[in-house]
C-alpha cells in the first residue's frame, strides 16, 4: 500500500485544511519527492518555534473529521531548548530550563497509517518509538498540526556509533534548493555529525537570536 498520497490538488487541499503554514519552505512536491530550501543548523534554529531534545515514547495515527490523517507523537523531554509558553514563563521568573521539569511533550503531525489507509508528505520527518531525536518544530496550524522545519531537515536522530553520539538526518525524498543561487540538487546521504557539537552550535545560535530581539 502506497503511503504517499500526492496529486495536483495537494497544494489546494493543504491550503483548505490549514496545512500550508506547517510546510515551511516547501517549494514544490511531486511523486518523486519534495523540493525545499536548504536549511543549515543555524537556519533551523532561526525558523523553529520549538526546539526539543528527547526520546520518542509513543506514536498514534488518527483520522480527523476532515478526512485528514495525523499522527500524535509523545516525546520524553531531555532538554527544551527553545519555545513554548512554559519556557517563556519560567524565563520571565528567572528560572532555568532545568527548573521546568518538563517531562513530556506531545504534538501532532500530518500523515500516518491507520487500519484503513495511510498518507504522508514525501520528504517529511518521520519518528519511530524509542529513537532519540533533536527536532526543530513549526508552530501549530489551524488543525493543531506541526511540522519539522524544512521537512526532514528539521529532525536529527541520535545514535551511538563506536562509542560516539552522532546525529543523523534522513533526507530521502528531498530535493534541496540553494538559497542564493536557486540551484536544486537531490539530497545526498549525510554522514553523522558529533551530537554534542551540533547541540552546542544550536544553543549558541538561539542565544544570539535572543540578544537581537
Residue 149 lies in a domain: yes
The whole-number pLDDT of residue 205 equals 97
The whole-number pLDDT of residue 42 equals 97
Residue 51 lies in a domain: yes
What domain range includes position 148? 10-212
pLDDT at residue 154 is higher than 80: yes
Band the pLDDT of 213: cuts 50, 70, 90.
Answer: low
Specify the CATH number for the domain of residue 17.
2.40.50.120
Taking only the tens place, the pLDDT of each residue in 108-147 is: 999 888 878 888 888 899 999 999 999 999 999 988 899 9
Residue 122 lies in a domain: yes
Residue 1 lies in a domain: no
Residues sharing a CB contact under 8 Å with residue 5, sequence separation 6 or more, in sequence order: 118, 119, 120
CA distances from 65 to 74, 86, 110, 197 (A): 22, 30, 14, 43
Residue 83 lies in a domain: yes
Across the range 7-25, mean pLDDT stands at: 41
Please classify residue 79 by burial: count the beta carbons closer than 10 Å to its beta carbon, then call 0-12 exposed, 13-18 middle and 19+ buried: middle
Taking only the tens place, the pLDDT of each residue in 53-76 is: 999 999 999 988 778 899 999 999
Name which residue leads in pLDDT, 202 or 96.
202
Across the range 12-36, mean pLDDT stands at: 50
Split into its structural domains, the chain has a count of: 1
Amino acid at each position: 500500500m502506497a503511503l504517499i498520497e500526492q496529486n495536483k490538488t495537494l497544494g489546494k487541499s493543504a491550503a483548505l485544511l490549514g496545512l500550508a503554514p506547517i510546510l515551511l519552505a516547501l517549494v514544490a512536491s511531486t511523486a518523486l519527492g519534495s523540493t525545499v530550501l536548504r536549511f543549515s543548523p543555524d537556519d533551523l534554529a532561526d525558523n523553529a518555534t520549538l526546539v526539543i531534545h528527547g526520546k520518542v515514547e509513543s506514536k498514534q495515527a488518527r483520522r480527523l473529521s476532515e478526512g485528514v490523517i495525523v499522527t500524535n507523537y509523545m516525546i520524553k523531554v531531555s532538554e527544551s531548548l527553545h519555545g513554548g509558553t512554559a519556557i517563556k514563563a519560567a524565563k520571565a521568573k528567572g528560572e532555568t530550563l532545568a527548573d521546568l521539569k518538563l517531562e513530556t511533550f506531545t504534538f501532532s503531525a500530518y500523515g500516518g497509517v491507520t487500519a484503513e489507509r495511510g498518507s504522508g508528505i514525501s520528504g517529511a520527518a518521520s519518528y519511530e518509538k524509542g529513537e532519540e531525536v533533536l527536532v526543530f518544530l513549526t508552530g501549530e496550524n489551524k488543525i493543531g498540526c506541526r511540522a519539522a522545519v524544512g521537512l526532514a531537515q528539521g529532525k536529527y536522530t541520535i545514535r551511538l556509533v563506536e562509542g560516539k553520539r552522532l546525529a543523523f538526518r534522513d533526507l530521502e525524498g528531498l530535493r534541496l534548493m540553494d538559497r542564493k543561487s536557486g540551484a536544486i540538487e537531490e539530497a545526498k546521504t549525510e554522514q553523522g555529525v558529533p551530537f554534542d557539537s551540533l547541540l552546542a552550535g544550536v544553543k549558541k545560535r538561539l542565544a544570539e537570536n535572543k540578544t537581537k530581539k
